[in-house]
Amino acid sequence: MSTIVEQIEKEIASFEAGAVKSNTGKIVTIADGVAKLEGLSGVMYNEMIDFGNGVYGLALNLEEDEVGCVILGDYSKLKEGDEASTTGKLLSVPVGKGLLGRVVDAIGQPVDGKGPVDSSETYPVDQ
Amino acid sequence: MTRDKKVLRFAKKLVELSSENGIVTEARVSDVLAGLKKTTVRNKGLVLKTYLHYMRRAVAEQTAVVATPGALSAEALAAIESNFTKVYGRPITATTTKDESLIAGVRIRVGDDVYDASVAGRLKRFAESVN
């Protein structure tokens, strides 16, 4: 419980009223875990795309008007017209001793029901 | 939107012709539409639909849509316009929309870019950091 309070206190201490910039796009088509997005003009190759509700994707196919993206998670929640935004991060996962013995999904989120991975560092998966 | 490359290329060319120094103008759009009426083009309907699609994007890139839960003063709107004009290096026109779900603050959209300075956005990011 004290960690929750500490986390809130940390967030309050770092509170800044500045604006957060994100580059957004919309799902044009989605099928079999692959989405085509319109927009996302500032996306990088291999960048993680945030679809909201904890669903992320990986930008793999950068075309002139569209971005092809592989969904890493439950894509049944997503539909055409949903908004997605860039994260500014390449596909990376938490690393360190806290990861030992844990079961995680493709983006390093725990699936073993043992809570968050105790790690302060993340590495790109291609490293 | 169509995947026909010829139609896409033609529609893009029409968007180019609709702009002056990278800025879409009403006069140019009227000229382009008048020119299209006179000429015979294959798949004219499809070309026009694709042209509309690209034009919507071009107009969105010249417009700052300011969403706020309350009213925004004319001075604030003018300041937003001048600041974004400086940032993007092209004339940006600001329009306002009411969005009470933001609770307080503003969310500004210019093309694909979204600048979120709202309480709702802050709470959302905080909730994500806690999870």
- pTM of the predicted model as reported, rounded to 2 decimal places: 0.80
**Does B105 score more than 70 pLDDT?**
yes
Which residues on chain B are in Cβ contact (under 8 Å) with A65? 1, 8
The answer to whether the Cα torsion of B63, B16, B1, B41 is positive or negative is positive
Residue B22: CB partners within 8 Å, gap ≥ 6?
B90
pLDDT tens track for B83-93: 999 999 999 99
Task: Copy the structure tokens of residue A22.
Answer: 């994100």
**Does A100 score more than 70 pLDDT?**
yes
The answer to whether B125 contacts chain A (CB < 8 Å) is yes
Nearest-CA distance from A4 to chain B in Å? 8
Instruction: Provide the greatest CA pair distance for chain A.
Output: 49
Q: Are B111 and A41 within 8 A, CB to CB?
A: yes
User: Which has the closest alpha carbon to B91: B39, B29, B20?
Assistant: B20
Task: Give the model's confidence band at A8: pLDDT under 50 very low, under 70 low, under 90 confident, else very high.
Answer: confident
* Amino acid letter, A69: C
DSSP E strand stretches across A63-102: 66-72, 83-90, 92-95
* Amino acid letter, A113: G
Q: What is the pLDDT of residue A107?
A: 83
The answer to whether A24 contacts chain B (CB < 8 Å) is yes
Task: Copy the structure tokens of residue A79.
Answer: 């539909």
Q: How far is CA B54 from CA A52, A70, A91, A105, in A?
A: 27, 25, 31, 38
ipTM of the complex: 0.78
